Amino acid sequence: MYLLHGKLSTKEGKRDAMAEVLLEASEKMQGNGGCHLYAVSIDPEERNTVYVTEIWDSKEDHDNSLKNPEVKLMITKAMPLIEGMPQRGQELKVLSPMAFK
């Protein structure tokens, strides 16, 4: 399994707009081959930050998702909201693949 955890710094006052774009992206990930989790979160103390945590069957599945036209559109919508250059997310090793429903 492949886990990617990212922190997106937004332009001043654009956190909620970024969260909306990412929540829309999370809906697009439902049923996307290999995606188990696409979680969007915020820290109420960080006014210009949004976090995304993704769990995939493999890095290849994640990379292939970025070729999807709908995902490309979400990236295009998100880019103007990001402050500076996007940071590379943390690639983490999944130790406990169990999901709770």
Three-class DSSP category at 91: strand
Interatomic CA distance for residues 70 and 7, integer angstroms: 21
What stretch of H or E contains 77?
helix 69-78
User: Is 12 domain-assigned?
Assistant: yes
User: Is 66 domain-assigned?
Assistant: yes
User: Is 77 domain-assigned?
Assistant: yes
The tens digit of pLDDT for each residue in 67-90 reads 888 888 988 999 999 998 777 789
Work out how many domains the chain is built from and give that number. 1
User: Is 95 domain-assigned?
Assistant: no
The tens digit of pLDDT for each residue in 3-58 reads 999 999 999 999 999 999 999 988 877 777 789 889 999 999 999 999 999 999 99
Print the domain residue range for 25: 2-86
User: Is 99 domain-assigned?
Assistant: no
Whole-structure pTM value: 0.86
CA 54 from centre of chain: 6
Q: 99 versus 86: which is more confidently predicted?
A: 86
User: Is 96 domain-assigned?
Assistant: no
Interatomic CA distance for residues 35 and 91, integer angstroms: 15
Residue 54 sits in a domain whose CATH number is 3.30.70.100
